[in-house]
Amino acid sequence: MNFIELYDTTLRDGAQTWGVTFSLEDKVRIAQKLDEFGIDFIEGGYPGSNPKDRRFFEIAKTLNFKNSVISAFGSTCRVDLSPEKDPQLRTLIETQTPAVTIVGKCWDLHVTDILVASLERNLEMIRESIDYIRPHFQRVVFDAEHFFDGFKANSDYALKTLEAANSADLCCLCDTNGGTLPSETAEIIRAVKKRISTPLGIHNHNDADTAVACSLVAAELGVKQIQGTINGIGERCGNTNLLSIIPALALKMGMLNYNPARLKLLRHVSEFVDEMANRTPNKAQPYVGTAAFAHKGGLHSSAVMKIPRAYEHIDPELVGASRHMPISEQAGRAALVQKASEFGIDLSADDPKVAEILKIIKDLEAQGARYDIADGSFKLLLKRMLGLHKRFFTLHGFSVTSSKRKGDTKTYSDAVIRIVVKDKTEFSAAEGNGPVHALDNAIRQALTTFYPNVGEVRLTDFKVRVLEGTSGTGATVSVLIESTDGEDVWWTVGFNENVIQASWNALVDSIDYKLQKDLAG
């Protein structure tokens, strides 16, 4: 039995993130994933605000949720209407969800200046709205909006709003502006508990970057529910990140009895929601980001190889994450040996080649290589230096021209390459939307006759970075290419003062990586 209830509002608060729009299908899939993950309550949306959310609740009735309870969200009745005549409250009842959350104003500023109502009328709206919907739901939560700011401005009135909601099963204290600090949170919750007997919850926004900290402080002070979102998405700076809350409560505070198998889904759930939201995952996100257990510094990586807890606050496997040793100019012997092991290459830290490889890495990174990101190019470099690389082709030269044709808004590029494959010289010419595209088409055309698997490679990302801004157009550029064959994903890097040459180097490594993977082992 959990001490703390987890209430997820990704489908409502999370959907208010700038740039995020969930389709109906997205919402259904996320809800099913949250149920699989073991979230206690899933807030499906605000049915009184849009048809998509109403349709979601219709579909939710047909689904078999095994671990989660679906909750609808709404507000207290309008100032000029009784609850019985408020269409928004009727829509809430029509969802027939087991649980409902009603939001009401707790800051006198909002009551008098935003709602333009009397303070007493607002208390009536809270009391009457909750009493009206109470018989229709198994569980009623009152979201005390702007409670912390309201308490600071007028503590007696803020507490009266909670007293007006005393027929609710739980009052959730909301830091809607997200500016409350952990020490303030603790002080205010202690004051609330002296006067209010209704169980409490906490709903933090992250505008001061304290949402998770404030929620954990609230848990220590006995709140029964924490509301938040997956990956902390939400309006402005986001909400409490449940993916930080869950492992903290389960692994550090002993306040959440979370199934270890589900805890290992933490990273998977993070990536799934980012995919549904069409967002690039935050590499530095605690617990689940790819950098969360990455050790780039030589001293760090060496220590972790001996005793992981020397630089890791938990075992990454507990949350479905893994340890990484990015190779860079700061890498040490331990990181290099560990990375070689990941590639299936047996290398000893005492091998004289290790020092030589590290020196070359540092020299190349000083020129523009980025091996901490470009694992594909690093593997090729390692194999070449250890005599494990098999040469499948040799480039003898290329030429690229770009032109704009009269009356056309597009620029066309043509590439010609001369390449030697299996002692046979091949000339290949191809057109593309740009010089890199043309070169990509030309090398594929030349190689697929000999190596059909080259046709499986797709370029999925292309990044250009100017390394020395003070050098203007003559600066060295670094080009990163992400490639996939549908099975694996790899990054390769090229660097040069000429962006075409840098792109070509990264492109060749991308193709070479595929050939080494499939044909050389």
Q: Which two tokens stand for residue 441?
A: 């088409």
Lowest mean pLDDT among 119-123, 234-238, 474-478: 474-478
Give alpha helix (H) positions in 278-412: 298-306, 333-342, 352-367, 375-385
Question: Who wins on pLDDT, 296 or 124?
Answer: 124
Q: What is the largest CA-CA distance in the chain?
A: 91
Work out the angle at residue 275's Cα, subtended by the Cα atoms of residues 270 and 280, and round it to the nearest 5 degrees: 85
Percent with pLDDT over 70 in the chain: 93
Q: How far apart are CA 174 and CA 146, in angstroms?
A: 6
Instruction: Give the class (CATH, top level) of 5-277.
Output: alpha beta
Give the per-residue pLDDT at 472.
Answer: 55
Beta carbons of 388 and 345 less than 8 angstroms apart: yes
- Band (120; pLDDT cuts 50, 70, 90): very high
% of residues, the chain, pLDDT over 90:
62
In the predicted structure, residue 337 carries a pLDDT above the cut 60: yes
What is the per-residue pLDDT for 371? Answer: 75
Closest CA to 243 of 231, 234, 235: 231
The span from the CA of 294 to the CA of 292, in Å, is 6
Whether 1 has a pLDDT exceeding 50, the answer reads no
DSSP code of residue 13: T
Domain ranges of the chain: 5-277, 298-364, 394-520
Tokens of 343: 């590639």
Structure tokens at 188: 């205010």
Structure tokens at 185: 């949170």
| Residue 382, phi then psi, degrees to nearest 5 | -60, -45
Give the residue carrying structure tokens 């990956």: 231
Question: How far is it, in rounded angstroms, from Cα 204 to Cα 313?
Answer: 25
Three-state DSSP at 15 gives helix
Q: How many other CB atoms sit within 10 Å of the CB of residue 82?
A: 14
Q: Which residue has the tokens 């979601």?
A: 56
First-to-final CA distance of the chain? 50
Q: What is the Cα–Cα distance from 178 to 240, expressed in whole angstroms? A: 10
In the predicted model, what is the mean pLDDT of residues 452-469?
Answer: 82
Task: Measure the CA–CA gap between 282 and 85, rounded to whole angstroms.
Answer: 45
Task: Quick: pLDDT tens for 388-405.
Answer: 889 999 988 899 998 877
pLDDT at 473: 57
Asked if the model's pLDDT at residue 303 lies above 80, the reply is no
Q: What pLDDT, on a 0 to 100 scale, did the predictor assign at position 296?
A: 67
In this prediction, residues 3-9 reach a mean pLDDT of 95
CA 465 to chain CA mean position, Å: 23
Q: At 460, which amino acid appears?
A: T
Task: Tell me the helix, strand and coil percentages in the chain, rounded to 5.
Answer: 45, 20, 35
The confidence score (pLDDT) of residue 346 equals 80
Measured CA to CA, the distance from residue 119 to residue 109 in angstroms comes to: 10
- Show the tokens assigned to 108: 């006198």
Integer CA distances (angstroms), 300 to 81, 149, 297, 330, in order? 63, 43, 5, 10
User: Please, which pLDDT band fits residue 132 given cuts at 50, 70 and 90?
Assistant: very high
In the block, residue with structure tokens 């510094």:
297
pLDDT at 459: 86
Whether residue 306 is predicted with pLDDT greater than 50 in this model: the reply is yes
Is residue 220 pLDDT above 60, yes or no?
Answer: yes
Give, in words, the CATH class of 394-520. Answer: alpha beta
C-alpha–C-alpha distance, residues 318 and 258, integer Å: 11
- Across the chain, mean pLDDT equals 90
Q: Which one-letter amino acid corresponds to residue 39?
A: I
Bridge partners (DSSP) listed for residue 495 = 478
Q: Which residues have CB under 8 Å from 252's CB, separation 6+?
A: none
Count CB-CB contacts under 10 A for residue 460: 10
